[in-house]
Structure formats: structure tokens, C-alpha cells
Amino acid sequence: MKRAKRLFRLANFRRLSQTVCFVLFLYLFFRMEFPPFGPAGEMEAFRIQTPVGLFFYLDPLLAVTTWIASREFLPVLLWSLVTILSAILLNRAFCGWVCPFGTLQQLLSAGKTARRRAVRSERWRWNAKRNLKYLVLAFFLAGSLLGLQQVGWLDPFSFLTRSMAVWVHPSMGLGLDGVVRLMDWIGWTTTGDTLIAGLRGVVVPFDSRFFLHAFCIGLTFGVVLALNRVETRFWCRYLCPLGAWLGVCAARAPLTLHKHADRCTRCNRCLQGCQGGDQPIPGEPWISSECHLCANCIDVCPENALEFRFRLARPVPAERRPLADLSRRAVLGAAVGGFVLAPLQAIGAENAERDRKVFKASDKLIRPPGARAEDDFLSRCVRCGACMKVCPTNALHPAAFEGGVSALWTPIVVPKIGYCDDRCTLCGQVCPTEAIRPTTLDDRLGRNGRAPIRLGLAYVDRNRCLPWAQAKPCIVCEEVCPTIQGQKAIKLVRDRVQAPDGRWIDVQKPVIDAAFCIGCGICENKCPIADRAAILVTCVGESRSVANQISLPGGQ
């Protein structure tokens, strides 16, 4: 009986919930992938049936900032009300029971030695620096008022998914590749074949893939994880704006930690396992907005001096101090900061489009198919990297400064590394905030009276192209160019040219028929000139822009 009671204690239910949610997160992450089952009809796009955006939909921070910044109500984000409700009733239980990033922090915080704990004994005590996360929240909320979605920097699901997609997942592929090549060397070739066949496209990338700026993103991730060795759940306590948002919601939660001060022997065990740093020990004020409801304090207390109680009566018990020490001045300051920095970032943007004119467009800001106009795009994109994870050709990469500071780590197409398949709509399917709109094959290919989605336009570099510059035959770009509305955008014109040795040679030279170019970049991708292709795609002519065009609408 006693053993059963020990098994069915609150902390164990919390562990179970964390395990389930973490595994679910991983499962959904790995299902952001080309679906293993074919489409219903063969002229339709391949669809991911799994709700891979679930954790994003449950994220109230993402919901509020997206709604405000985009000035549009995206209904699917209403799921986040569930999370809000949980915070109103159960404090930050979401952080302790559900959040997969929190679970990861907790795992990496575990196992500090007793000596280390003793050295850092003051870590259990509340300190005002933990208010930083509320200031981060105020900063992001204020920025969203001006139409800039910046929350992706530190939103836990965006942060985790981006780091996994760009850094962890490709590294897993490289790791498996290394192991299998070692097995090849030993002579276990068939085992290696089986491993690759079974795991690729499931838990490792289908083909080995690389991402621009993966190192910066990986380093950021590594630092955040390493901070757990400095202090338990450093991210959750100091940085996480979602935690702050839930903390605000939890300020008047009816759930309280009731302390029997008379039973306490000051053994301090409750402090050692505490995840949120909310001062569970009797005699100190308990900080409700920091409590993750991990129940470790109750679990370890040998005197049963602690218990959770629902208390609907007001006023708040004397020993809890919601949102401790948060000064109005600091919050206002952060909000003003967010307000001021938003336009400052936008001024740095290289693709600002105002009043139907482009200012200093960067030609390499090629957005994924279905991406909204740049301002609208930046008001939604949370830089979660889901599109980069799902992209089957490794075409999507985190941007550096092609779109200015405000577009850092948002997705761009880099055709030299991967082309955009003309019959693929996966990135639009996984985008949680519809910064990349869901599209159909009719949209992409311009069927049934629609115009095809154009990402940009290809042009031939005649100084590098083999038939143009070296009198050598080559038609690879024309060969791979998809047929859009019945024609290829790359056409071959016959010509007789003189080779450097004086001989006259018949060649076919590629020329661009812009009316049929969708800017997919397969020509640049497959061009045999390996370093800088002789045919390049730039973003001019992209469907999403009014101004970034060559001709007037209707003209050719």
C-alpha cells in the first residue's frame, strides 16, 4: 500500500507527462518530412497528415504576437487558450509538465553534485535578474505592435525546432554516415545498408544536408543548454518569454503551495530539486509565478511540511508574492525598447517595400513558394525552421542579412544548394503562422486559370555559360527546366560559333523565356559549373511582390 502510494505520487505523474510530451515533440519533429504515403490523386500535392505544428498552436505567446503583428486573426492559434487556461488555474504547470524545451533543460540540469549545490546554494533564492524574461516579453509585445514578429528569437518552440532542424538533425545524419562508413570498412556492409535504408527520411535526413549559418544557430543552442550547468533551468528562469507570459497569467492562480512552518526542520531538500526557483521552503515567500508545479519539493520533504492547495478566497495569502519585484518602470522601458528597435531594424532591411517601390533590394532574398509579401511575411515568420526541416531538397536556409537584421534566420531559397521542386508544397504545410501560405499544385503550376507562383527569375551568365563562353555543348539547364503552362523557360537557340582554336562549331545556347520561369532554381542547382553557376536565379519577378518586377503588370 505504501509502495503504491509512493508510485502514484504527483512528481511521477509529472515525469510521465514530460516523457510523453517530449516524445510527442520528437515524433512531430521527425514527421516534418516528406510523407511516406502517396497523395489521394496523383495530380495533387503530397500532404503531411500529422498535425506537426501542435506545439506551436499551443503557444499563446506565438498566438498573441502573430495576431497583433499581422493584424489578422489566425484561428488555429486559438488552441493556445488551453495553455492560458492551464496557467490561470495551475500556475506554470505547462513549463513543468508539457514544454519539451523545459524538459530538455531539466535533463541537462540534473546530476549536479551535492558540493556544487552547496556552493551555489544561493541559487534557490529569488533574484531580481529573473525579471529579465518579463522584460523580454514586453520587448517582443511592443515590437509586434509595429508589425514586426521578433518572438521567434526566444520563443521556446521556435528556438528548439530551429536548432534541431538546422543543427541537430543534419548532425545526426553525418553521425550515422560516419558510423556506417566505419562498418563498411570493417566489412559489415549489409548491416550498414539496412541501417541507412531504415533510418534515412525517418530520424536522419533523407540525403546528407547542410545549412548556412548552422554553426551560429548551433552555438546559440549549445550556450543555452550549457547554462543549465550554471543554474538549474537557466533558460526557464531568466530568459523564456513564454514562461513570462504564463507567469503573468498565473499571477492570481488559485493553486498555492501551503507551507507548514511548524514542521520544517530547514533541511533544505525542497530547494535542491526545485525547478522554477520559487522558494518553496517555509519561512520564505513563495513566488507563484515561478512555480512549474514540478512537485519535487513535496516529493522530497521528509516532514510533509508542504502541500498544494486550491484556494479561491481572496486576498492572496501573505507569503506569496506574484511577479516579485517587477517594477513598472522596467517593464515600460523594455516596451519602449521594443517599440523603438522595431523600426530601427526595419530601416536596416534591404528589401523594404514601401508605396510600391523597392528600396535597395537584395537579389538573393528568394522566399519559399507561397511566402507572403515581405512586410507581411516578417509580421508572421517565427524563424522556427520547420520549413527548412521539411524541405526535401535542402533548398531552404536561414538568411543572414539578405533581408536586413529583421529577417535574420528567416527562410530563403539558396538554389546552388537545393532547388525548389515545382510540384512540392511541403513548406507551406508546416509553417505554423502561415508566413508561407498553404498552396495547391494549381497555385504552383498555374493551372485552372491561375498564375504560377514565381520565386524569382533565372538569367544566363554568358561569360560563364559553356556554349556562350567556351563553344562547348551543354544543355543541362534546359534539360532540367520544368515545363510550366506547356513550355520550358529555358529555350535553346542554335548558333555557329568559333572555338578558341579557330574551328567553327554548332552549339545550342540557352536563353530565358521569362514568361515561363518560376524561379525554381533547378537550372542553377544542376549547372555543371560547380562553384558559381552560369545560370543564376534572383528574386525579381517574385509573385509576392508588387514592386520587385521588371515590367508593368500585363506587359511582357
Partner 1 sequence: MSKRPFTTPWTRREVLEDLLVPAAAGIALAGLGGCGGGRELSADKRVGAPALDLVVVRNGEPDVLVREALAALGGMQRFIARGDRVVLKPNIGFNRVPEQAANTNPDVVRALAVAILNAGAKTVKIFDHSLYEARHCYARSGISKAVQDLGVELEFVDERKFVEMTLGGEWLKNWPIYRDVLEADKVINVPVAKQHSTARLSLGFKNLMGVIGGRREAFHQNIHTALADLGGFVRPTLTILDAYRILVRNGPQGGSLADAVLSRTLVAGVDMVAVDAFGCSLFDIDPAQMGFVVEASRRGIGRMDLAGLKTRTVEL
175 near partner 1, judged by CB under 8 A: no
Is 527 one of the binding residues for partner 1 (CB under 8 A)?
yes
Can you tell me the distance from the alpha carbon of 262 to that of 375, in angstroms, rounded to the nearest whole number? Answer: 60
Cell of 207: 540525403
CB of 189 to partner 1, least distance (A): 8
Binding range to partner 1, per CB under 8 A, among 32-40, 88-96, 99-107, 427-435: 32-40
Among the listed ranges 60-68, 153-161, 418-426, 427-435, the one in contact with partner 1 (CB under 8 A) is: 418-426
Distance CA 514, CA 339 (A): 42
Q: Using CB under 8 A, which of 15, 88, 177, 505 touches partner 1?
A: 177
Burial of 347 (0-12, 13-18, 19+ CB in 10 A): exposed
Number of residues counted as binding partner 1 (CB under 8 A): 53
Nearest CB to partner 1, comparing residues 186 and 546: 186
Q: Which is nearer to partner 1, 265 or 485 (CB)?
A: 485
| Of 201, 217, 67, residue with least CA distance to 145 | 67
475 is an interface residue for partner 1 by CB under 8 A: yes
**Least gap, CB of 527 to partner 1 (angstroms):** 7
Applying CB under 8 A, does 473 fall inside the site for partner 1?
A: yes
Q: Are 32 and 431 in contact (CB under 8 A)?
A: no
Q: Does 155 bind partner 1 (CB under 8 A)?
A: no
- Which residue is it, cell 495569502? 317
Among residues 233, 54, 242, 220, which one has the least CA distance to residue 140?
242
What one-character-per-residue DSSP string does 395-407 give? Answer: -EEE-SSTT-GGG
Alpha-carbon distance of 514 to 18, in angstroms, equals 53
The verdict on 478 binding partner 1 (CB under 8 A) reads yes
Report if residue 369 touches partner 1, rule: CB under 8 A.
Answer: no
Give the CA-trace dihedral at 248, 250, 252, 253, to 10 degrees. Answer: 180
> If binding is defined by CB under 8 A, does position 497 make contact with partner 1?
no
Smallest separation, CB 534 to partner 1 (Å): 12
DSSP single-letter state for residue 284: S
34 binds partner 1 (CB under 8 A): yes
Q: Which of 96, 173, 338, 392 binds partner 1 (CB under 8 A)?
A: 392
Residue 43 binds partner 1, judged by CB under 8 A:
yes
Distance, in Å, from the CA atom of 535 to the CA atom of 458, rounded to the nearest integer, reads 7
Separation CA 321–CA 337 (nearest Å): 27
Instruction: Report how far residue 84's alpha carbon sits from residue 93's, in angstroms, rounded to the nearest whole number.
Output: 11
Q: How far is the CB of 542 from partner 1 (least distance, A)?
A: 21
Distance CA 245, CA 56 (A): 15
Q: Could you tell me which of 179, 213, 210 has the C-alpha nearest to residue 193?
A: 179
Query: H-helix or E-strand containing 505?
Result: strand 504-512
Residues 207, 325, 495, 513: which binds partner 1 (CB under 8 A)?
Answer: 207
Q: What distance in Å separates the CA atoms of residue 266 and residue 383, rounded to the nearest whole number?
A: 46
Q: Which stretch binds partner 1 (CB under 8 A): 98-106, 185-193, 215-223, 297-305?
A: 185-193
Pick from 12, 208, 327, 498 the residue near partner 1 by CB under 8 A.
Answer: 208
Site track 44-83 with partner 1 (rule: CB under 8 A), x = hit: --x-------------------------------------
The DSSP secondary-structure symbol of 260 reads -
185 scored as a contact of partner 1 (CB under 8 A): yes
Name which position in 196, 373, 400, 405 contacts partner 1 (CB under 8 A). 196
In the block, cell 509502495 appears at 3
Nearer to partner 1, 449 or 486 (CB): 486
Kindly list the residues in this chain that would bind partner 1 in the complex (CB under 8 A): 34, 38-39, 42-43, 46, 177, 180-181, 184-189, 192-193, 196-197, 200-201, 206-208, 392-393, 421-424, 445, 466, 472-476, 478-480, 482-488, 492, 508, 526-528, 530
